[in-house]
Amino acid sequence: MTRDPYTYVTVSIDTGGASRVGVSFYTPGLRVRADVLDSGRPYLDISSKTADVSISTTGASVVTSSDLEAARQIFNAAARYLADCERLHDQQSADLGPVSSPSPVAGDEAAA
């Protein structure tokens, strides 16, 4: 069973504790970018038409060792995600075999 693409956002508010926001992207319309703000603060943005997630350093422009560790974890997780996507894409392509273009329909030569 396949599902249509979607973005799922949840917000949990606990009156006695910390609130929590969850964002799940299951959509081909993702945009990912990284840059440095004018203040010198680096950031990573992941967004779709329906939700945005921004990640940045903990200090105004001071990059801490904790920031470096978080960036390394993001990098390593993204590398694993890429490797898994490539492996599954290759497997699925092999399972489907070569894909050929459909033959033209008789009488459609003028449209081609």
Q: Which residues of the chain have pLDDT under 50?
A: 101, 105-112
CA-wise closest residue to 56 among 81, 64, 21, 18:
64
pLDDT confidence of residue 13:
92
Give residue 61's pLDDT.
67
pLDDT for the residue 18: 86
Give residue 107's pLDDT. 47
At 91, is the secondary structure helix, strand, or coil? Answer: helix
What's the pLDDT at 109? 42
Q: 53 with 43: CB under 8 angstroms?
A: no
Q: Are 21 and 15 in contact (CB under 8 A)?
A: no
